Amino acid sequence: MFKKVLISSFLFGLINAQSPDELYKTAQASLDASKVSKAEEEFNAVLQVDPTFAPAYLGLAHVSMRKGDLKKSGEFLKEAIEADPENKAFRTEFENMSELNTLMSKGIRSMKNGEADNAFESFRIAFEKFPNYPESVFNMGLTHFRKKEFTEAVEYFNKTLEVNPEHKTAYAAIKNVAKNYFNNGNQSYKRGDLEGALSSYEEVLKVDKTFYQAYYQIGVIQSKMGDKELAVSTYEEALKVNPQFYKGYFALGLAKNGMNDMKGAISALESAVDINPGYDKAYGAMGDIYINAKNYEKAKQVLNIAITVNPNYSKGYANLGIIHVEEKNWEEAVTSLQMAVGLNKKDAMSFFRLASAQNSRGNCDGAKIAARNSTELKNRFGGAWFELGIAEWCSGKGNKTGALNAFEKARSDRTWRTMAEYEIDKVKNPQKYAN
């Protein structure tokens, strides 16, 4: 509390050390530089020193004009006139405000009546005569926006910001134009029109270079088109705008992995989970990378985090199942893969791996159920038919006909043909393999 009193006293001392004229010049310089809020504070500081200093009231009137508040502007002009009744310029400026009010009212009325051209002309004249009033040029932009002439609309919204860089509605309007282009891009993307989507997203960035989602979508398309390097640079642009955009880091990680940059991919994915510790997909992607590198311990670490933050993350269980199968830990493989297919009943590959694990531990009935589920989902996949054949034969204790039928279907898949033919021979000629 004592410190605050000292600081306030110090600032008050600084203000009083300067004359009203000096303070006024500083405030006017701020206004000329379009630092509207700063100018407002400084004109008020002048009046703290000298409440009768008329030019400061005029300055506040101009600040209010820049902020689009004609009523307040008029009130400050009245204060200026009262402080200096002999100054005719103050009275002239006050009288001119009625013309501005008339022009703006006429323009707004025309806009409500759907007379866009008449509205635009009223706003144009208002801006020409009163170039420091932002609402006239903003409304010129609005007439174009309503006609869906977005390029022209943005031009006028940017002119509004030149008059008053703190004009929140102009900023919002520019964002709305950008969103229109962005939505068009999304629709094109959904239709599979990647070129059309790219064009729309590029329009977004012409309007608003801070629209990081557009950079992201462009990166997604570039990645789809096979240009991972370009996608990486585009994702990095998105992250410059919004360093907390964890999905951007995720996409960056996938693109870098596609370029065989394992270290860069892991680094990007770790950034994603630093920002969002519950981002299961990022842990899953790290798991994929570590599995491909056969670093199973690291893979298990990140996948266990994935299923901890999201116990319903089926891919996490599926990938743990892959690792346990590779390590021949059949019991753990079965447990993980049962969780995976329980959460995602359309995961044909997990059903296949579950059948393989069940066969490896001698559970023929469990293997048959899993293999049949896999064949129903992926009828031409020889691996599922092969595991069904192994389960049906069940080391010679099962159904010979069922096993042969399954192996024959496995033979149709070139990848599994040699293995299927070997098993067919074993079933037909068991005496050859008796030892």
Long-range contacts of 143-152 (CB under 8 A, 24+ apart): 143/111, 143/116, 143/119, 144/120, 145/173, 145/176, 145/177, 146/111, 146/116, 147/116, 150/177, 150/180, 150/181, 150/207
Predicted pLDDT at 435: 63
**Residue 4 confidence class, pLDDT cut points 50, 70, 90:** very low
**Residue 5 confidence class, pLDDT cut points 50, 70, 90:** very low
**Residue 139 confidence class, pLDDT cut points 50, 70, 90:** very high
C-alpha atoms less than 13 angstroms from C-alpha of 435 in its C-beta half-sphere: 1
**Residue 417 confidence class, pLDDT cut points 50, 70, 90:** very high
Statement: residue 9 has pLDDT above 60: no
**Residue 300 confidence class, pLDDT cut points 50, 70, 90:** very high
Statement: residue 364 has pLDDT above 50: yes
Statement: residue 16 has pLDDT above 60: no
**Residue 148 confidence class, pLDDT cut points 50, 70, 90:** confident
Statement: residue 262 has pLDDT above 60: yes
Statement: residue 8 has pLDDT above 80: no
Statement: residue 391 has pLDDT above 70: yes
> Taking all residues of the chain, what is their mean pLDDT, rounded to a whole number?
92
> What is the C-alpha separation between 88 and 170, in angstroms, rounded?
34
The percentage of the chain sitting over the pLDDT mark of 90, rounded to a whole number, equals 76
Question: Mean pLDDT over residues 411-428, rounded?
Answer: 94
Statement: residue 3 has pLDDT above 50: no
Each residue of 34-91: pLDDT tens digit? 899 998 999 899 899 999 898 888 889 898 888 988 899 889 889 889 988 888 888 8
Provide the token pair at 8. Answer: 């306030």
> What is the C-alpha separation between 427 and 396, in angstroms, rounded?
8
DSSP type of residue 350: H
pTM (2 d.p.): 0.78
In this structure, are residues 207 and 174 in contact, taking their beta carbons and an 8 Å threshold? yes
Provide the token pair at 138. Answer: 């903003």
> What is the C-alpha separation between 69 and 93, in angstroms, rounded?
15
Question: Mean pLDDT over residues 127-152, rounded?
Answer: 92
Statement: residue 434 has pLDDT above 90: no
Q: Which residue has the higher pLDDT, 205 or 8?
A: 205
Statement: residue 281 has pLDDT above 60: yes
CA dihedral 260→263→265→266, nearest 10 degrees, is 140
Amino acid at 293: A
Residue whose token pair is 């006024």: 24
Predicted pLDDT at 17: 55
Nearest to 384 by CA among 362, 359, 361, 401: 359
Q: Is 139 exposed, middle or buried (0-12, 13-18, 19+ CB in 10 A)?
A: buried
End-to-end CA distance of the chain: 94
Statement: residue 296 has pLDDT above 80: yes
Amino acid at 290: Y
